[in-house]
Structure 1
Amino acid sequence: MTSEVLDPRVDPEPPYWRELRALAGLRGDWAWDVLRQQAWCARTPWSVAVTLEGSRPRWFVAAAWIGTRSRRHRFATSRRGGLLGGLDVRAPGSGAFPAWWFADTDGDGGCGRLLTEYLPSMRRLFGAGMKATLIRQVPGEGVATLAGRFHLVRETEPIARVPTAGFTSGDDWLASLPRRRKAQLRKVFDAIEADVDLTVEVLPGSAVDAVELAELLRLNEVKHRDVPIVPLPQFVGYLRRLLLQPDVFVLCYRDGNSRRLVAAATVYDHPQWPLARAWSSLPVEDGGRADAYFHMYGELVRWSIERGRRGVVLGKKMAKLKTSLGAELVPQYAAVVPVR
């Protein structure tokens, strides 16, 4: 076995990375050039640790270094790590999936190997200044493994996903919903479909202008300032590279006359569970469409059914609303583990 720790900002794409992405089921935001752009736009430096058996990847873990130099308005420096801090094990884009993969997980989602293999190797790299690790997106089966003396494990927001494998059409999904929600959505769908001045289509990301989409997505990001550290704005350079990935699509709502993009959702395709990543729309008074947000869910479900997927992942937040749309909630946890 051999191991290496990579910095996406400066290290070239390793020859095994595409194979690893396929084995681990990683979506378009894990493409190496996308990771590189994300890492340069991040507040904290990133590392990707990989272990190989021969030339074949056996596991990887991605994490950000959180130290005394971290500031909400400061970007990552060229320095790896710092004198005192810890690792934040989390995915670089979506918080819906873990930032690790192990070929063998022992039934605990890989959490045991995080403790026995990953953390010791990173402690050797960062030294005694590495005091703790925050592990996010922990699956339920890993909670018992991460529990222990001085370990803090807490449930976080669940992930909503709509199973679609049992449906043959969007109408089947709609018929399965509670009566009041079904009636409301029928009105929404009829109104959107009757709007002759609106076009709705799912396009490959490469067919969408990154600048136009970034401007729209920033409108939604401005609304969500209810977290301790305000998210960074949507960077055009990052988005441009993301949209070029063959598994990234955009659900576009355009004004039929001006061709202006009035609403959009990004979707990362996957053989089983596509992920609905980002959504934004113009205010109605500025040309947006009422209830396009609800229509978006119907379009994503229909798209998932047509592509033969198991379902579509809707991410965090708005759990009550999403369950009314037929979503199941998958529990997730976070753990703080001291490193000694």
Structure 2
Amino acid sequence: MTGASTESGGRTATRALPRPARTADHEVLDPRFDPEPAYWSELRATAGLHADWCWDALAAQAWAARTPQYVTVLHSGDGPYGVVWAAWVGPPTRRHRFARTKRGGRLGGLDVRAPNNASAPGWWFADGAGKRLLTDYVPAMRERVGGARLLLARQLADTDAAAIGTPTRIVRPTEPISVLDTDSFESVDHWLSELRTTRRRSLTQIEQTIGDDPRLEVRTGSMTESDPGEVAALLRHNAEKHHDVPIVPLPMFTGYLENLLCQPDVVGVRYVDPLSGALRALALILDHPQWPVMRSWSTLPLHRGGRRNLYFDMYTQAVRFALASGKKGVVLGKKMTDLKRTFGARTVAQHAVLAPLY
């Protein structure tokens, strides 16, 4: 391999391609340089990994990231039995600096999390044991990235957190995720009937108002024909509202969305002008046979053509989608937990572990 060219964030980069690190039992891949493994589609299906794990999206995201990002696949005689996504975090990390093209660095740590998805873990193991992050994954990465000193893993369930916790590891609860179970409902009306009266009346009135508006139409389905540039511009309206974390996330680049939206397991709840087709608001759903994830939401400001209360109607549309496609429920993500309870959601505890890599 001699080189590759990729464009993201308004730049084109051409670099020599390092070969993936491979041993008898694991390989560490950098999506910027390494081609999609032949087994990747099958592994994604087996592991139930959402669309943000498709290789083209991982590569586009990695090129537009602040830090190098690794996909580690653990192998046995029967094939892959585990996969972990992690970002290498070390100096320098700045908001407007892209990742260096070299692999890793001299000193830093591994931040294990799902790519662009705070509602799902950044790993899968065939036996479901999160403790394999330390027993299997850490040794593999210790060999690969010699400067790693710490491992931060998020989205641990209660059982995994209990199995991993030791005096040398810090395990702390993090913000829970909200999950809306739908498999017990026969219809949207059945779901509405279980909500408190004020919420039921509000959602019914909002949906009626939308239905009566000739300049607004709700469309739920594939995003393959959508304009990634228009979607990126719309999503930035919501991103600009959230500056409550130490390092504000980078916006989603058009190049990344172009690769993500063409995946068949990405569903959009779109609020559009039926005459022009222009987007007013959008919810992106990462589909899954049982537990789709509400990934992104954004709406135009009122002075630019947005409409009131579309955020609330989005929950009605998510339930309608889940019922029509036979899901167990919808993962609604983090934040606004109390509000989501009014839609019938329950909370699922989450933990993070910080462990030294000796």
TM range (shorter): over 0.9
Give, in whole Å, the separation in 2 of the partners of 1:55 and 1:218: 44
Residue aligning to 1:275? 293
Aligned partner (choices 98, 101, 104) of residue 78 of structure 1: 101
Matched, 1:236 2:254: yes
SS of alignment partner, residue 69 of structure 1: coil
Q: Which residue of 2 aligns with 1:169?
A: 187
2:203 maps to which of 169, 185, 195? 185
1:58 equivalent in structure 2: 81
Identity fraction in percent: 50
Unaligned runs of 5+ in 1: none
Q: How does 1:19-58 map to 2 (within 5 A)?
A: 19-54=42-77, 56-58=79-81
Aligned length: 335
Q: State whether residues 88 and 135 of structure 1, in contact with CA within 8 Å, keep that contact through their aligned partners in structure 2.
A: yes
Matches within 5 A, 1:146-225: 146-225=164-243
Name 1:122's counterpart in structure 2.
141
Residues in 1 aligned to 2:182 and 2:130: alpha-carbon distance in whole angstroms: 29
Structure 1 residues 55 and 143, CA, compared in 2 at 3 Å: closer, same or farther? Answer: closer
Q: Is the 8 A contact 2:173 2:351 kept in 1?
A: yes
The Cα of 1:72 is off from its aligned counterpart by: 2.5
Deviations 1:257-287 (A, max 9, x none): 4332111111111100111111111122221
What code does the residue aligned with 1:312 have?
Answer: V
For structure 2, the residue ranges without an aligned partner over 5 or more in a row are 1-23
Q: CA deviation at 1:71?
A: 2.1
Q: Is the 8 A contact 1:147 1:153 kept in 2?
A: yes
1:123-142 alignment runs, 5 A limit = 123-127=142-146, 129-142=147-160
Structure 1 CA distance for aligned equivalents of residues 259 and 123 of structure 2: 22
Q: Secondary structure at the match of 2:135?
A: helix
Deviations 1:28-59 (Å, cap 9, x if unpaired)?
11001111001111111011111222462111
1:302 is the counterpart of 2:320: yes
CA distance, structure 2, for counterparts of residue 296 and residue 95 of structure 1? 19
Which stretch of the first structure deviates more once superposed, 256-265 or 138-147? 256-265
How far, CA to CA, are the matches of 2:141 and 2:116 in structure 1?
22
What SS is found at the alignment partner of 1:158? strand
Q: Deviations over 1:63-87 (max 9, x none)?
A: 1111122222211111111111110
How far residue 92 of structure 1 moved from its aligned partner, in angstroms, is: 1.1
Q: Classify the secondary structure of the residue corresponding to 2:240.
A: helix
Match for 2:118: what amino acid?
A: G
What is the one-letter code of the residue matched to 1:144? A
4+ residue runs of structure 1 moved beyond 6 angstroms? none
SS in structure 1 of the partner of residue 131 of structure 2: helix
3-state DSSP of counterpart to 1:239: helix
Cα pair 1:69 1:82 within 8 Å, conserved: no
TM-score, scaled to structure 2: 0.91
TM-score, normalisation: structure 1: 0.96
CA contact (8 A) 2:95 2:250 kept: no
Q: How has the CA–CA distance of structure 1 residues 162 and 252 changed in structure 2, closer, same or farther, with 3 Å as cutoff?
A: same
- Amino acid paired to 2:144: L
> Which residue number corresponds to residue 337 of structure 1?
355
Between Structure 1 and Structure 2, the one with more helix by share is: 1
Letter in 1 for 2:137: Y
Q: Which deviations, in whole Å up to 9, do the C-alpha atoms of 1:141-166 show, x marking residues without a partner?
A: 11112211131111111111111111
1:250 aligns with 2:273: no
- In the alignment, does 2:315 pair up with 1:313? no
Counterpart residue number, 2:4: none
